[in-house]
Amino acid sequence: MVKAKKEEKSTFSETTLNRVLAIQKGLGKPSTSREVSDILGIKDPERGRTLVRRVMAKLAEQGKVVITEAEKGRARLYSVV
C-alpha cells in the first residue's frame, strides 16, 4: 500500500519573509536560492536552498518576487517586483 503524501503548508513568520526579501533587494540583481542561502549563513547548503525556494514561492504568491527560469541549466532566478 502506498501512503498519500501530505501536502505541507508553508507557514513562515513575517520576520523571515521580510528578511529574505531584504536580502534579495540588497543584492540588486536576480539571484539563485544558493546565493540567498549563503548570505543567510545556513550551514547545510541543501536545506538552505530548500528553505529559500519555499520562502520565495510564498513571496511570489504575495506578488513581491518574480521567479524566472535561467537561460542555462535548471536554476531559477528570483527578483524583487
Reading the chain (81 residues) residue by residue, the pLDDT tens digits are 555 554 455 578 888 899 999 999 999 999 999 999 999 998 999 999 999 999 999 999 999 999 998 887 778 999 998
Q: What angle do CA 76, 43, 70 make, to 5 degrees?
A: 10
To the question of pTM greater than 0.85 for the whole model, the response is no
Q: In this predicted structure, what is the pLDDT of residue 81?
A: 87
Q: In this predicted structure, what is the pLDDT of residue 30?
A: 92
Q: In this predicted structure, what is the pLDDT of residue 3?
A: 53
**Please, where are the H alpha helices in the chain?**
14-27, 33-40, 45-61
Q: State the residue for C-alpha cell 536576480.
A: 30
Domain boundaries defined on the chain: 30-80
